[in-house]
């Protein structure tokens, strides 16, 4: 018999105070947002743009709205439109799971653009700060998916396969943990290492590009073992919706990286030309 790990019996409610119940799912999102917020505040002193702690504090509310509205809207439109069009009240039941990263990402992008225009902040520099903190939220968000026993992987015979409550009798890839590690921990480490270099910090858009492309690559890889949503299944050539949504991110991220590096090189050439003059 194939070795498998039984899914831990996790009470979905973390804290219950009378009629108020705080679920692990919501708590993970809160910890991710707060953790990313504090890390971004830490980075403001070393990144260009003269972005203040107060401005980062103010954006937290905007980011929260963007994540929740964008994430839920993306899930409704991209993954389960038929169901929610027939059960519109279910859209509000976010505690039951069902959030799309790509939708949440677009929600935060819109929030950031509006916020930067309102406060006259440099969009690329602000985006770089957000990109460095985003993996923290992704890490805890994927842990929340695991605690909710949702978005699990395909059946497997690897020794760390997990038998999920709603995944049938056979072990499956804990794809939520793979994503927590790749989209969260590893991407955070890569961005952290890059952020230690002053020359790279002076290339607006670079960190945003690395994050966007890095997420797209990580997501595309994990989708190879992640179980597609039952209402969608596999698409052309055995691909998945997650992969189709990630390809544009990879291309856009690479575009930002190229732009940032060219901008950096042009600055360097201009400085050398001034020195020779």
Q: List, as one string, the DSSP characters of 244-271.
A: HHHHHHHHHHHHHHHHHHHHHHHHHHHH
Contacts from 164-168 at CB under 8 Å and sequence distance 24+?
A: 164/7, 165/7, 167/227
Give me the residues paired with residue 5 across strands: 162
Instruction: Say which DSSP state 88 is in.
Output: G
Report the DSSP pairing between strands 5-6 and 162-163: parallel
Does 142 show up as a binding residue in the annotation?
yes
- 259, 212 in Cβ contact below 8 A? no
Task: Report the C-alpha gap between 116 and 133 in whole angstroms.
Answer: 17
Annotated binding site: 142
């Amino acid at each position: 018999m194939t070795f498998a790990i039984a899914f831990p019996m996790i009470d979905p409610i973390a804290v219950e105070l009378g009629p108020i119940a705080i679920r692990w799912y919501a708590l993970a999102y809160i910890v991710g947002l707060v953790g990313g917020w504090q890390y971004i505040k830490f980075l403001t002193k070393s990144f260009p743009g003269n972005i203040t702690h107060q401005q980062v504090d103010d954006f937290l509310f905007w980011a929260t709205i963007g994540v929740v509205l964008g994430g839920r809207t993306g899930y409704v439109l991209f993954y389960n439109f038929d169901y929610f069009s027939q059960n519109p009240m279910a859209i509000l039941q976010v505690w039951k799971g069902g959030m799309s990263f790509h939708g949440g990402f677009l929600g935060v992008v819109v929030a950031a653009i509006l916020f930067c225009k309102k406060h006259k902040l440099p969009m690329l520099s602000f985006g770089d700060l957000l990109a460095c903190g985003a993996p923290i939220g992704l890490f805890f968000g994927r842990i929340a998916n695991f605690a909710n026993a949702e978005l699990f992987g395909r059946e497997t015979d690897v020794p760390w396969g997990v038998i999920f409550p709603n995944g049938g009798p056979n072990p499956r890839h804990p794809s939520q943990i793979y994503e927590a590690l790749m989209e969260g921990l590893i991407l955070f480490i890569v961005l952290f290492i890059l952020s230690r270099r002053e020359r790279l910090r002076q290339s607006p858009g670079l960190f945003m590009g690395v994050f966007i492309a890095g997420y797209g690559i990580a997501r595309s890889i994990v989708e190879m073992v992640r179980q597609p949503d039952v209402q969608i299944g596999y698409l052309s050539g055995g691909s998945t919706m997650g992969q189709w949504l990630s390809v544009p991110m990879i291309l856009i991220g690479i575009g930002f990286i190229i732009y940032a590096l060219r901008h950096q090189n042009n600055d360097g050439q201009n400085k050398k030309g001034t020195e020779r003059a």
